Chains A and B, each alone.
Chain A
């Protein structure tokens, strides 16, 4: 019982986080930057930040993750990090030859007050940035927001630095996916393709963090949105953001900067939320939903109907990031399951309101916390056990101690594979989620059923 110290009585904790359900902004910014073609993310802070982010992303994706660091010293912390960053920019363009360097700040560089735009323009004036190469930045102090907002900030930086309007509206549609897997990004692109839309998708980590074994080490894998696509994105006819928190700010920035109208949607997880996404694409493309997608939708519906008696009334506890939880809660409610405990580590008042709205007809009390942690979640589970938990790998401690099946979903997943390759968005993603939910529930039923009730056919 690793978590044997966890008590059922929930005490007020104002200054303490135990077993976090979040991490800091910079890692989100680093992940988003990897979705830019030929980009080398750069951590403007101590060496450890960069090492930790790279290690965590490597554990989650099982891929090499490249990023530079300003390697702050005591001197830099007193006199400012300008010299370090200018030298870093010079070194990186000289030896690693990226197209873009995407700098994000850390708690250290933010607190000492480094002015990134000023440092970047100094680097340009000093001739450290070669022609047709770029340095962009996002402010991501670790004491504000979480990894989700860090992702949002870097996605927005892509708009701030690159999007241009040339006066002519193209037929292209921008799609900004939230903090989702490379597989999800590829699936979002595929769905748009089925609707006859070739999107400008950014960030796009597919073919970056789920690449093949080639026998070569590629500093810059093939995937990612290109600078020229981002430049053109300012002339697109619309932007669709998937995930209000992680993708919304980039879409709104595009609207403000280039007057590209934006549609800010939830992540397309499950039947209803995918319907909403497909419907917006349909209107933008001015087409009927193609048969191919109708079939996929019908298949998802078919699986739900085939197995609905096993889903009915199942109590679920979920931990994750706000965009994922909103869409997932909606999906669980729509298949007659009962989300009982919902915890995100990312603070925000709107989150609880949205969740309350989604669960208003659920015939059960629902605990919701924005800015909670795994310890609180565990206490809730002790007070009211659930049949299934959905969340990242850190839930495995609770799953083991309380003997509850766990479906790994979200970030990070440190102990299983699959998330890089098989999406959970779209209709097909919905089928995969259901498959995983049912596997977990029915394996448990098979294990726990008395011999007399042990069934061959389910």
Chain B
């Protein structure tokens, strides 16, 4: 495996710390023919908007796009669950020839009559962009007739990368902002952005803020509601998690409504504590918030520290490989793995920016491999070369790790337990411990020769 070469044009997207000056290319379109782990614009929009549970999500296109995104993300809702249904205009050949607008209109009106959603998102897929359906016109017509916001999402798959899909989702969502009354919004209030309530994570984070005495006006989009987004412009601060997904919405809200934003991460003890302190310090007029935050952080960490120490005993010195969607998540993971005494030997992301990779490079030890938009051959090559004990990634990486005889932790849609917040760090340690120390790897060939 070690003699496997990487594509020549890919070399600028791979960096080995310590071996060369830092110079990485990123934010570029994937090379044709590369077995990339990336998805498309539609995918980006779909994952961001999907958790808004009282909205209708209609995919305008052939059946595949709706079929593959039917309830694939464990974004929990405490109430309505309309988002877990799969609605498609299921375009056929005749629609491709004559246009799909009539079909879209018929599907949309029927769905709104039946489900009475608070708003509707209409996702344009590749084909819609090519045949030239005027999705926006159909949306505004239906919006007038039905009296709810009907928002086109310009998510044609070929129009960029997943990141452009995040932006298209934010553009659509921004049209919902400012529609509701903000009279009961406290001056000590925030919106949580870029938190999708996978495994109930948004609930954990929301509870922290409430304990601190900070009002959460909306979570975008975890356990999301159209009405909450409508009054989100009343909040004093936008707290944005995740590098790419929702920064553009925060920027638009800053420009339009003058709401400042900060970037945070809720993953790992250090990052969670920092996030809560950063928010508390934004409200100097209410010093009690900071006092309560200090108590909260102290109590939460005290509660899980003994368990973390136990896990750390077994995990000290083990090697981890990370390949995730956004680079921001990789930063948190590196810190969290260090908390557990583990060493990061590979770090990569699908959509990192130049700045992201510079930070990543600084955080990592000598010899760490840094990858942008990697493929399975590269991933397996470095996992073996670096003799990793743990792989952290998404659905397509899991079986590769297992084939290599390496433990795996899903840090993407398919995680079942909350990994955010202090309790999330405990869950993460527990999961990493259980997979790294699993007896199954003793039977795997790679371990036998060691």
The answer to whether A70 has its CB under 8 Å from any CB of chain B is yes
B31 to chain A, nearest CB (A): 6
B22 near A: Cβ within 8 Å? Answer: no
| Distance between Cα atoms of A142 and B62 in the complex (Å) | 6
- A3 nearest CB across to chain B (Å): 8
Mark out the residues of chain A between 44 and 69 whose CB falls within 8 Å of any chain B CB in the assembled complex: 45-56, 58-59, 62-69
Among the 9-residue stretches B85-93, B241-249, B254-262, B303-311, the one with 4 or more Cβ atoms under 8 Å from chain A is B85-93
CB of A141 within 8 A of CB of B405, answer: no
Contact among B33, B39, B126, B396 with A88 in the assembled complex (CB-CB below 8 Å): B33
Q: How does the 8 Å CB contact mask read for A65-79 relative to B, with 1 for contact and 0 for none?
A: 111111111101100
Q: In whole angstroms, how far apart are the Cα atoms of A219 and B5 in the complex?
A: 14
For B114-132 the 0/1 string (1 means CB < 8 A from A) is: 1100000000011101110
Does B29 have its Cβ within 8 Å of any Cβ on chain A? yes
Stretch at the interface among B66-74, B144-152, B192-200, B352-360: B66-74
Q: Name the residue on B nearest A5 (C-beta).
A: B115
Q: Which of B102-110, B171-179, B273-281 interfaces with chain A?
A: B102-110
With contacts A45-B126, A74-B159, A214-B403 known, is A16 near B31, CB below 8 A?
Answer: no
Taking the complex as formed, is B363 at the interface, i.e. its CB lies under 8 A from any CB of chain A? Answer: no
- Whether B64 and A49, one on each chain, are in contact in the complex, defined by CB atoms closer than 8 angstroms, is yes
List of A residues within 8 angstroms of B126 by Cβ: 45-46, 72, 77, 106-108
* Residue contact B32 to A51, C-beta cutoff 8 Å: no
Question: Contact partner of B66 among A20, A46, A73, CB < 8 A?
Answer: A20
Q: Do the beta carbons of B93 and A144 come within 8 Å of each other?
A: yes
Within 8 A of B (CB), among A322-350: 345
Chain A residue with minimal CB distance to B440? Answer: A213
Q: In the assembled complex, which residues on chain A have CB atoms less than 8 Å from the CB atom of B131? A: 111
Q: Which residues of A contact B69 (CB under 8 A)?
A: 52
* CB closest chain-B residue, reference A3: B85
Q: What is the size, in residues, of chain A's interface with B at 8 Å between Cβ atoms?
A: 80
| A62 / chain B contacts, CB cutoff of 8 Å | 398-399
A73 & B29 in contact (Cβ 8 Å cutoff) = yes
CB of B301 within 8 Å of the partner chain: no
Stretch of B40-48, B338-346, B417-425 with 4 or more beta carbons under 8 angstroms from chain A: B40-48
How many Å from the CB of A346 to the closest CB on chain B? 11
Contact residues in A for B130 (Cβ distance below 8 Å): 77, 108, 111-112
Please give the distance in Å from B97's CB to the nearest CB on chain A: 10
Q: Does B204 contact A (CB under 8 A)?
A: no
User: Out of B30, B106, B158, which one reaches A14, CB within 8 Å?
Assistant: B106
Selected from B32, B85, B160, B377, the residue in CB contact (under 8 A) with A219 is B377
Residues on the B chain within 8 Å of A46, using CB: 40-42, 126, 157-158
CB-based nearest A residue for B59: A17
Binds B, one of A89-97, A200-208, A228-236, A433-441: A89-97
Kindly state the separation between the CA atoms of A66 and B396 in the bound complex, as whole angstroms: 9
Q: Does B431 contact A (CB under 8 A)?
A: no
Please tell me if the beta carbons of A52 and B64 are within 8 angstroms of each other in the complex: yes
Which residues of A in the span 4-40 have a Cβ within 8 Å of any Cβ on B?
A: 5, 7, 11, 13-20, 22-24, 26-27, 40
Contact between chains at B29 and A71 (CB < 8 Å): yes
Q: Of A15, A47, A107, A142, which one neighbours B103 at CB under 8 angstroms?
A: A15
B318 interface hit (Cβ, 8 Å)? no
Establish whether residues A215 and B444, one from each chain, have CB atoms under 8 Å apart when the complex forms.
yes
- Report if A16-B107 is in contact (Cβ < 8 Å); known contacts: A46-B126, A142-B64: yes
Interface flags for B349-393 (1: CB within 8 Å of A; 0: not) read: 000000000000000000000000000110010001000000000
Q: Is the Cβ of A108 less than 8 Å from the Cβ of B67?
A: no
Contact assessment for B403 and A92 in the assembled complex, using a CB-CB cutoff below 8 Å: no
Q: How far is the CB of B162 from chain A (nearest CB, A)?
A: 8
Look across to chain B and name the residue whose beta carbon is closest to the beta carbon of A219.
Answer: B377
Contact A47 B157 (CB under 8 A): yes
A143 within 8 Å of B by Cβ? yes
Q: Is the CB of B40 within 8 A of A16?
A: no
Residues of A within 8 A of B7 (CB): 91, 94-95
Q: List residues of chain A with CB within 8 A of the CB of B183.
A: none
Check A47 against B38 for contact (C-beta < 8 Å): yes
Residues of chain A within 8 A (CB-CB) of B30 are: 47, 69, 71
Q: Does B404 contact A (CB under 8 A)?
A: yes
A89 touches B445 (CB 8 A): no
A87 at the B interface (CB under 8 A): yes
User: Does A416 interact with chain B (Cβ within 8 Å)?
Assistant: no
In the bound complex, CA of A69 to CA of B33 (Å): 5
Known contacts A5-B115, A18-B86, A73-B158: A47-B40 contact under CB 8 Å: yes
Q: A47-B157, A108-B158, A143-B127 are in contact. Are A67 and B35 (CB under 8 A)?
A: yes
Of B29, B92, B115, the contact of A144 (CB 8 Å cutoff): B92
Nearest-CB residue, chain A, relative to B91: A143
Q: Does B137 contact A (CB under 8 A)?
A: no
User: How far, in Å, is A415 (CB) from chain B's closest CB?
Assistant: 11
- Which of A42, A52, A74, A211 interacts with B158 by CB under 8 Å? A74
A84 within 8 A of B: yes
A48 touches B67 (CB 8 A): no
Contact between chains at B35 and A96 (CB < 8 Å): yes
Query: How many Å lie between the Cα of A66 and that of B34 in the bound state?
Result: 10
Query: B110 contacts which chain A residues (CB < 8 A)?
Result: 11, 13, 15-16
Q: Which residues of B sit under 8 angstroms from A52, Cβ to Cβ?
A: 39, 43, 64-65, 68-69
Q: Are A217 and B376 in contact (CB under 8 A)?
A: yes
Please name 20 further chain A to chain B contacts, defined as beta carbons within 8 Å, in addition to the given A51-B40, A87-B31, A142-B64, sorted by A numbering.
A2-B81, A15-B89, A46-B41, A47-B157, A51-B38, A55-B395, A73-B29, A73-B158, A85-B32, A90-B33, A95-B7, A108-B127, A111-B130, A143-B62, A143-B91, A143-B95, A211-B403, A215-B444, A215-B446, A217-B377
Chain A residues with CB under 8 Å of chain B are 2-3, 5, 7, 11, 13-20, 22-24, 26-27, 40, 42, 45-56, 58-59, 62-74, 76-77, 84-85, 87-92, 94-96, 106-108, 111-112, 141-144, 146, 211, 213-219, 345, 394
29 A-B residue pairs with Cβ-Cβ distance under 8 Å, sorted by A, are A13-B110, A14-B106, A15-B90, A19-B70, A20-B86, A23-B63, A24-B62, A40-B35, A45-B126, A46-B41, A46-B42, A49-B64, A51-B39, A52-B69, A70-B32, A71-B31, A71-B32, A73-B160, A77-B158, A87-B32, A91-B34, A108-B158, A111-B96, A142-B61, A142-B62, A143-B95, A213-B405, A216-B404, A394-B70
> Which of B's residues lie within 8 Å of A, judged by CB?
1, 5-7, 9, 29-43, 61-70, 81-82, 84-93, 95-96, 102-104, 106-107, 110-111, 114-115, 125-127, 129-131, 157-161, 376-377, 380, 384, 395-396, 398-400, 402-405, 444-448
Those 3 A-B pairs whose CB atoms lie nearest each other, nearest first:
A48-B40, A24-B64, A88-B33
